[in-house]
Amino acid sequence: MPDATKRAFGAQQRQSGASMKNLEGAVVIVGAGHAGGTVATLLRQQGWRGPVVVLGDEAAAPYQRPPLSKAWLKGEVGLDGLLLRKADFYDQQRIEVRTGVCVAAIDRAAAAVVLSDGERVPYEVLILATGTRARPLPVPGAALPGVLSLRSMADADRLKAALATARRMAVVGGGYIGLEVASVARALGVDVTVVEREARLLARVASPEIAAHYQALHEAHGVRFAFSAAVEAIEQEAGRVVGVTLADGTCIDADLVLVGIGAVANTDLAEAAGLACRDGVVVDEACRTSDPAIYAIGDVTRRPLALYGRDGRLESVQNALEQARLAAADLCGKPAPVREVPWFWSDQYDAKLQIAGLPFDGISRVVRGNPAQGSFAVFHLTAEGMVQTVEAVNAPAEFMIGRQWIGQRHVLSASRIADCALPVKEIAA
């Protein structure tokens, strides 16, 4: 953890397992998402006896977001397939899930949260699991009805309805969400152009080899790309989107625009309450914030990344689940779970990308397999040959073993990794 982060914490908080609370107290969780829904369940499983209240501003009980840009958008899964737990589960577990309520403030002095209608909900322990929101595109026309983003089930409903009648879609942002939606749109017969500010796809989150593979894959399915392209405005006629104008004057025809340019952490409540924040609510290994009574978990946190000797903000299901486990164990006085290697996945067409570790930390990269055959993996190695990251496309064995190697800090030879004549399990022998 960097010094600045360390200084943000009271010394008394940092001892692992030192913060077990009164198990009869009230836990209030703000945010009924993947992390919030999971930590509520884990608290009960680990022996928390007091009230557990989950406050969420969406209409649905906690659900998983990944299918929103994949199976759900294609109509292959319904609401039941998205929900983390069936409706009666929470009643059985004495977990009160209040949907459609927005927390407007935290009153730390009184240990209560204040809802937007003024109701006060007292807590002994508060867990912030407020996630992120879609980053807005700051150009004229961005508020038109045909300009959408994708974060929630309500967003996905709008996008699904729009895709049913759209003919030409412009996707602003060549990141995972934009590319996944592009692949679904092509399957639905919608013409797609992806506009990317950088010179390549997935610039912040994947290696050039992976980016090149996905560009070729999308092009083979008819997607067009504009790289190093800044959106200047979204054009309209009679209030309907008709295109996207780029800074170089090019106009891309479109009757639907999906903006996928990243997410902003919902730190507003924490910041207003004076908690330490730095592009995320700053937490320690056990998800404790700078207030001993307040924890934070999931996308909203800036957390220590022990494997990498730094901190960061991760947006993944694995991170949400791991932090839910860490916070629940700390609160219930259980041993801290073993730290996990971060991992992530993305589904586009028939290609499953699985990434373990955090890209860009490696000094060199080794490709195992042949991208042209649609199955390969990119291993990132430090100067000492330690595996820092693996990016695997339709290569689950490489992903699984790479994840182990990262956790065990294995030092390997690049030539053995690249040698496809060697079975994966024998590379480290």
Cβ proximity to ligand FAD: between 281 and 366 the closer is 281
Q: How far is CA 321 from CA 59, 60, 289, 389, in A?
A: 22, 19, 18, 20
Applying CB under 6 A, does 317 fall inside the site for ligand FAD?
Answer: yes
41 near ligand FAD, judged by CB under 6 A: no
Q: How many helices (H) and strands (E) does the chain have?
A: 11, 26
Is the separation of the CB atoms in 325 and 319 below 8 Å?
A: no
**Least distance in Å: CB of 100 to ligand FAD?**
9
Binding mask 7-36 for ligand FAD (x = CB under 6 A): -----------------------xxxxxxx
Determine contact, residues 68/161, Cβ cutoff 8 Å.
Answer: no
58 binds ligand FAD (CB under 6 A): yes
Does residue 159 belong to the site contacting ligand FAD (CB under 6 A)?
Answer: no
5 lines the binding site for ligand FAD (CB under 6 A):
no
- Residue 320 touching ligand FAD (CB under 6 A): yes
Q: Would you count residue 322 as binding ligand FAD (CB under 6 A)?
A: no
CA-CA distance, 46 to 50, in Å (whole number)? 12
Which span (8-16, 129-137, 328-336, 371-379) binds ligand FAD, by CB under 6 A? Answer: 129-137
Q: Per CB under 6 A, which of residues 332..351 are in contact with ligand FAD?
A: 344-346
Q: What SS3 state is found at 146?
A: coil
Minimal distance, residue 169 CB to ligand FAD, in Å: 16
Number of residues interacting with ligand FAD: please give it, by CB under 6 A: 37
Among 53, 68, 95, 172, binds ligand FAD (CB under 6 A): 68
Per DSSP, the three-state class of 416 is helix
Task: For residue 412, give every residue at least 6 positions away whose Cβ sits within 8 Å of its Cβ, in sequence order, or none.
Answer: 379, 381, 385, 386, 387, 405, 427, 428
Query: Which C-beta is closer to ligand FAD: that of 106 or that of 190?
Result: 106
The b-or-e profile of 387-406 (16+ CB within 10 A means b, else e) is bbbbbbbbbeebbebbbebb
Q: How far is CA 165 from CA 90, 282, 300, 391, in A?
A: 38, 43, 35, 36
DSSP 363: S
Nearer to ligand FAD, 146 or 298 (CB): 298
Tell the smallest beta-carbon distance from residue 35 to ligand FAD (Å).
3
Residues found near ligand FAD in the complex (CB under 6 A)? 30-36, 55-58, 65-66, 68-69, 102-103, 129-132, 150-151, 177, 266, 269, 298-300, 315-318, 320, 344-346
